[in-house]
Structure 1
Amino acid sequence: MSVSNAVPLTILLVEDDEVDIMNVKRAFKKNNISNPLLVAHNGIEALEVLRSTDSDAPKPKIILLDLNMPRMGGIEFLKEMRQDPALSKLSVFVMTTSNEDGDKIDAYNLNVAGYILKPLSMDRFIAAVSTLKSYWTLCEYPS
């Protein structure tokens, strides 16, 4: 799905669990989401992708972020990202197993667009991804 009949938004999935990565890809397929999906396995990899100087690679506008990852977790990644003027305005949706109020508060204080708890059943996960698709399809983003 594209925004304003433009090139589809690139999405960055920051997730270390291969099963969860496959579930996201499956949910994208079930929802006919054809947006390019990049995968980073931790916050350090995600920052490398976002800061890449490869001008041919489309820059992600939306990030789907797990919180519990090795090397650099989601909250630490969010703090780093929000301090970078080139990255601070990106839309981030947390998708995590953490039901801790502290994590939710930290995430929302770092301006996440939403906080989705997993594991949902596959049907509920597909529905959650459908809602995300509706959100980013309706939003207008600067070029």
Structure 2
Amino acid sequence: MSEPIQNLRAAYHILERNIIRALRTQRGDATQLSLQVTEALRLLQAAEPHRTAFPPTEYAMLQQSITVMVQQLDEARHLSSDSPEGPNLVVAHRASTGGRPRIEIDPRFLAQALDLRGTTHLASVFTCSARTIRRRVTVKACVQLYKRVDWEVQVISKR
């Protein structure tokens, strides 16, 4: 086989791998997917001068495969990885109490969030102070703040 054909075959396999990765990870990102479309069309354009060197069935398969890749990339441009169906997840809301609005946080979500981050980081997520997060943890008893070990009390809360 000629060297240009081998190079085109290798380039096709690399392109195929990159397009599969893009379809899995770049859904909805029109810029990145457009780059992959350009690469696919560029490969087809590079194969055109060597059309006679390819076996006819292989060249037809190359054209068909690149056409399918471009169609899938075009479809993926209009998709989003987040499904719009269903209501948004509400884990915190402000409750009117007649004075300063109180921030109510779902205790289950707060307990799981504290396993991952400290109160300072969660304060920026909930747009409140870290003290507010610590108070909600104490009031809702989401996590065990203290434990007794050999008659001594030790603080185990994350900060």
TM-score clears 0.5: no
Normalised by the shorter chain, which TM-score bucket? under 0.3
User: Relative contact order (alpha carbons < 8 A, sep ≥ 6): 1 or 2 greater?
Assistant: 1
TM-score normalised by length of structure 2: 0.22
TM-score normalised by length of structure 1: 0.23
